[in-house]
Amino acid sequence: MPLVLPPSVLGFYLLLAFSPQHGVGKWLHDVFDIQFVFSFPGLVLASVIYSLPFMIGPVKSALQQLPPSLAQASYTLGKTERQTFMRVLLPNIKPSLFTAIVLTFAHTLGEFGVVLMIGGNIPNVTRVASIAVYDSVENMDYGTANAYSLILFCITFVMVMGVFIFNKAHAKSPLE
């Protein structure tokens, strides 16, 4: 669902779910003294819920593309499913895993709707760069908005280039 729901809708439901007034949020608050709404940990949790499906898809697809005989060979050597996953399957989808992690991180970095809903816009607590850009434009402070945007652009550009270079280094020629 997080893949297709508008981020603001997902953020709204998470806001309701983690509200300290009722339900899970109240239980977390009463029992563990944890409040996810309008806090940085809540912002991180909401981002994970929103972004994880974007990572799971490519990783699952990479695992499915491995020949089944790899896992079977490991089982016949007496290895458990966990050992097989950690020692054989996971290392052999390294490029896909790296790509998924970096792109999901870059995607999360620019997230706006979910973050604004669950975290609000509290300076030095939950104001992230993407919200700061919006905030600066709202206040007609285009210089600050430009600075934030440029920083986000540079970080994202470096990440995408890094993924591109890494994948090119690991790609095999079809003639090999």
Partner 1 sequence: MISINIEKKLRAYSGQQWLKVNREFATGSITKIYGPSGAGKTTFLKMIAGLIQPEKGIIKLDDLTWLDTSSNISLSPQKRMTGFVFQNYALFPNMTVRQHLEYATNDTRWINRLLTVGKLETLSTHKPDHLSGGQQQRLAILRALAIKPKLLLMDEPFSALDPKMKTALIAELKLLFTEFKLTVLIVSHNPMELEGLCDGEMEIDTEG
Give the footprint of partner 1 on this chain (CB under 8 A).
Answer: 67, 69-70, 72-80, 87-88, 91-92, 94
Q: For residues 125 and 119, what is the distance between their CA atoms, to the nearest angstrom?
A: 8
Pick 32 or 82: Cβ nearer partner 1? 82
Residue reference for tokens 């050597």: 77
Residue reference for tokens 């509200």: 19
Pick 88 or 109: Cβ nearer partner 1? 88
Pick 67 or 123: Cβ nearer partner 1? 67
Distance of CA 174 to CAs 62, 83, 168, 169, Å? 18, 31, 13, 14
Q: For residues 135 and 11, what is the distance between their CA atoms, to the nearest angstrom?
A: 19
